[in-house]
Structure 1
Amino acid sequence: MSSEDFVEEAGLYFERLGLSRTAGRVMGVLLLSDDDGMDLPELREELGAAKSSISVAVGRLAQAGLVERFRRPGARRDRYRLTRDVFGRAFRSKMAEFQRFQELAEHGLAVVGDDPRRRERLENMRDMYAFMAEGFPRLLAEWERTRQAPSHRP
């Protein structure tokens, strides 16, 4: 697989997760870049996308905490790179949705009343997201311990 193929695959993947395809492609490029990141003209050239499209994508990624903006001493342009804990941050933001899914299920349960056949899916949804909300913080804590262990290689 070429780097171009990977970037396109990342664009499609992150698009399915709710980002724009361009933002997903930016993620793909930055996943392959070094810690020095890239500036907007470099991203635009690498992706062959319009300046405004790249600016909007990078802005949304920065707002979501997935990308950070920085400037090298003496440089004239800002650069962008993935935040150090990009996937932990993304995972934590998704965890916040678990509560909203539980609330949605509760609203549905209030609508369907006592009919057991109509309640089953909604109860399953509520219970599954409650389970995930309880278990995922432990998984993240375990990941952090594992990542910080001397034997772990970044």
Structure 2
Amino acid sequence: MPGGRLTHQDRRSIASGLAEGLGYAEIARRLNRPTSTVSREVARNGGSHGYLADHAHHSTERRARRRRPVPPPETQTPGAPASASGVDAEGRDPEAVRAFAEEFAALMVATGLPRMAARVLARLVTTDPGALTAAELVRHLRVSPASVSKAIGYLEGLDLVRRERDPHHRRERYLIDDDVWLRTWLTSARTNAMLADISRRGAEILDTATPAGARLDQMREFFVQLSDDMAGGPTAAVFSDTLTVLAALMHAVTPRTVDQLAVALGWPPERVAAALDSAERHPDIADPVAPRYDETGACTLVARAGRLTPAQREALGRP
């Protein structure tokens, strides 16, 4: 198979093949190129529905002019150097891994994630340790340190990436945790529940008999259904009740029983009990607090275990 960069004519052939509805493998066969070369080219230049030959060629030339020298491909993946056979220590094709990372990033861009943030996330997901330093990300992605820093900041804001100090060097590493998708789900569920709750209150204020009130009531039904359809967690109604009961306990300051909370909120005791049970079974909902019961069965709020160290608790004057 021929080596070297894709030519302008190669890119026009790719665009024609995509227009004909051909798969990457067939396009690659016609060009006598690896399938991964074609898939990576399309993924980094707009995807199968947005690929334009001229635009892709000019973009590649601009990137080449800006690009600084980088290590050869076999040093790109930490902990998994490529062998003479073209595979890493785990028997994987580094070229195929990079192509997949670009495809993953393109999908994340389609969901609304900025392109650079998507590329950083894809690189972390496809790296065995799930952690890289800023310098490693710069080298792998062939971008500036400022671009990596901005992308990391964006991902941290979404709680998708966290940073930690490398114990062996004076530098930070950026990590993606194994439970990141659970936390993302909880964030989505929390948002849906809040939207359902505010639209419910709006419908009550504006009256569902009016066009505006009816519109908000439809919005409430949509977000309640959306949250209910997210299997594995509390429904939007229970989620909203949990936040309300936690707010009531925070306002009360002193412990309250289920019956006392029910009277204060004007709810059946069963509804209050279900909300408190949800707070215990789904601690991420209540974070950074947690309900605690005294010997009489009354409930109050305390800092969630792990949020404060023993030394911090002692400094604040409480065990």
For normalisation by structure 2, the TM-score amounts to: 0.37
Greater C-alpha Rg: 2
Q: 1:4 to 1:139 in 2, by over 3 A?
A: same
Partner of 1:144: none
Q: The residue matched to 1:133 in structure 2 has which SS?
A: helix
1:80 is matched with: 174
CA contact (8 A) 2:117 2:152 kept: yes
Instruction: Report percent identity of matched pairs.
Output: 26
Tell me which of 100, 103, 110 is aligned to 1:9: 103
**Aligned to 1:38, what secondary structure does the other structure show?**
strand
Q: Is the 8 A contact 1:65 1:83 kept in 2?
A: no
Q: Report the Cα distance in structure 1 between the residues aligned to 2:134 and 2:175, rounded to whole angstroms.
A: 11
Cα deviation, residue 33, structure 1: 0.5
Contact 1:88 1:140 in 2 (8 A): no
Residue 145 of structure 1 corresponds to none
Is the Cα contact below 8 Å between 2:161 and 2:176 reproduced in 1? Answer: yes
- 1:129 has 2:223 as partner: yes
Q: Supply the AA of the counterpart residue of 1:69.
A: R
Q: Structure 2: how far apart are the matches of 1:71 and 1:104?
A: 43
Residue 104 of structure 1 deviates from its aligned partner by: 5.4
Question: Paired residue for 2:165, among 71, 76, 90?
Answer: 71
Q: How far has the Cα of 1:140 moved from its partner?
A: 4.3
Gaps of 5+ in 2: 1-35, 37-95, 235-319
Residue 139 (1) aligns with residue 232 (2): yes
Match of 2:129 among 35, 45, 52: 35
Higher RCO (C-alpha 8 Å, min separation 6) = 1
- Aligned residues between the structures: 138
Residue 79 of structure 1 aligns to a residue whose secondary structure is strand
Residue-by-residue CA offset, 1:28-58 (whole Å, 9 max, x unaligned)? 1111112261111111111122211110111
Q: How much is the aligned-residue C-alpha RMSD, in angstroms?
A: 3.2
- The question of whether the paired residues in 1 share the 8 Å contact of 2:202 and 2:216 is answered with no
Query: Which secondary structure state, in structure 1, belongs to the residue aligned with residue 174 of structure 2?
Result: strand
* Distance in structure 2 (CA, Å) of the matches to 1:104 and 1:24: 32
Distance 1:112 1:9, change over 3 A: farther
Letter in 1 for 2:220: R
More helix by share: 1
Relative to structure 1, the CA distance from residue 108 to residue 90 in structure 2 (aligned partners, 3 Å threshold; closer, same or farther) is same
Distance (Å, rounded) in 2 between the aligned partners of 1:111 and 1:18: 35
Contact 1:10–1:27 (CA under 8 A) maintained in structure 2:
no
Moved >3 Å (runs of 4+): 99-115, 121-125
Contact 1:67 1:81 in 2 (8 A): yes
